[in-house]
Amino acid sequence: MHVLMVAAENDALPNAKVGGVADVVRDCPKALVEKGLSVDVVIPDYGFEYLERHHIGVVYVPFAGQMQKLDVWKLAKSEEGITQLLISHWEFSRHNGAVYCNDEPGRPFATDASKFALFNAAVCEALLQGLIRTPDVVHLHDWHSACVALLLKSDSRYRKLAHLFLAYTVHNLALQGIRPFKGDSSSLEAWFPSLGYNGERLCDPRYFDCFNPMRTAINLVDKVHLVSPTYCQEVLRPSDAEKGFFGGEGLEADLQAAYEQGRVVGILNGCEYPGMKLEDISLASLYQHAENALFQWMAKSPVLDSSYYIAHQRLLQFKTRPFSGPLVTSVGRLTDQKALLLRQPYDKGLVLDELCQRLKQHNGYMIILGSGDTELEHIMTSVMARQDNLLFLKGYAHYVGEYMYHLGDLFLMPSSFEPCGISQMLAMRAGQPCLVHGVGGLRDTVEHHVSGFSFQGESLASQSYELVTSFSDALELKKSQPEKWCSICEQARNARFTWQSVAEGYLSGLYQ
């Protein structure tokens, strides 16, 4: 069997990773090859001219009223059974190598939607022209590849490819790439003015004059894949943000219909074992990498960011006045998905303030690594200024994250929703138990009081209370029951979520 994967990210290439989808597109093909498959992976060329690659050919695509020329490339170095492909166009590489762009208020996804629509059209044309070999399965990832399904199923030019089996993985239902049908330079009819389509199957269920790429793919493909069994069930129910539940995000009716048709599967993502080998796993090494990262971030602007200044002062404090208690860590993007509960009010402060106060009772300290939403970054900085046992590092540095996984005593991941999650797997792999919200992939990977700790709640207030209570209980268990704690750490270290089992799930449930 031959599979073509189409995605926006791929961590097999340098600087082509933003989120967890890049890990999937990097690792899963290797497991599929071990099962006897061959895999082509294609992403846009964000500026990879420096990589050794071979020119396969040129495709001409009618797009937005003009004929666009795009180049198809094959990387010279690929693992056996895997072919890494790139499609080049000035639109993909003009953003200084960035995978995604931020648009002005009022036009969400505008730049990216146009960019990926052109990329998708080029993928279809390359298939038609034979520059990309015809697969048995086209595996699409998230909304960025949804227009492949639209064009193959709706454009008469690609009629000979309409039989291809389409599998679609939803990595994050909260991001759907919604754009207008018309009336904007970044709209479906602006991109493909001659395309005939059924608007009832493509429109956003909340905004009928808008095209929803994710809904389009869900309705057109042969199989829809959610990245954990629990998340697969959660998305069949409507979201209720006021109660702290995040499910189908407006697409629950389409997913429910697809589920009843047998087109929806829930297969947990995997993790690579063993992990990265670090030469010197020590707090001194972590602090040195953190300081190096802070200096690099500071140097990017002539104006000193208060977050970096406070973090550097706090780092110096950590060095000179070491803590004797537990180190709590957290690594991840700062979004409401990840940090909504941490910013909820609690007593006279926020939940994060309360966690730091509870941790101080055990002479412990916390390090948070991540960036994202500006308001959340400001909240984290403000709490760091108030709580002298919190170090917030606003950014991402690979080695800092790796050392935190290995050195932390308890990993904090109170996501409001989590399709699968990779950070908890990386922490567990290093023997660090996790405290998680029992939703999505977190529920499928962390077993309460066996390999970690889990909490739930029927409202934001109850979830906040349960998070704080579970946090205190975990710290108390570590202090009073060291043998039980060691057992939990060992269970976390021995847990396995392999890509081999994912590949088996794809073969048995997704690719047929």
Q: What confidence score (pLDDT) does residue 454 get?
A: 98
Structure tokens at 36: 């006897």
Q: End-to-end CA distance of the chain, in Å?
A: 11
Pairing of strands 165-170, 179-180: unpaired
Q: What confidence score (pLDDT) does residue 18 get?
A: 87
- Which pTM does this prediction carry? 0.94
Count other Cβ atoms within 10 Å, centred on residue 135: 19
Say whether 138 sits in a helix, a strand or coil: strand
Q: What is d(CA 359, CA 351) in angstroms, rounded to the nearest whole number?
A: 12
Q: What confidence score (pLDDT) does residue 280 get?
A: 80
Q: What confidence score (pLDDT) does residue 278 get?
A: 72
Q: Where are the beta strands (DSSP E) in 227-364?
A: 264-266, 327-331, 345-346, 349-350
Cβ burial of 264 (10 Å; 0-12, 13-18, 19+) is buried
Pairing of strands 53-63, 410-413: unpaired
Phi, psi of 201 (to 5 degrees): -90, -15
Q: What is d(CA 353, CA 467) in angstroms, rounded to the nearest whole number?
A: 13
Chain-centre distance for alpha carbon 512: 26
Residues of the chain with pLDDT under 70: 275-276
Q: Where are the beta strands (DSSP E) in 351-472?
A: 365-370, 390-394, 410-413, 434-437, 452-455
Evaluate whether 83 touches 131 at the Cβ level (below 8 Å): no
Domains of the chain and any CATH numbers: 2-229 (3.40.50.2000), 283-496 (3.40.50.2000)
Bridge partners, 111 (sequence order): none
Structure tokens at 324: 């004797």
Evaluate whether 138 touches 164 at the Cβ level (below 8 Å): yes
Q: What confidence score (pLDDT) does residue 275 get?
A: 58
Q: What confidence score (pLDDT) does residue 143 get?
A: 98
Structure tokens at 326: 């537990």
Q: What confidence score (pLDDT) does residue 78 get?
A: 83
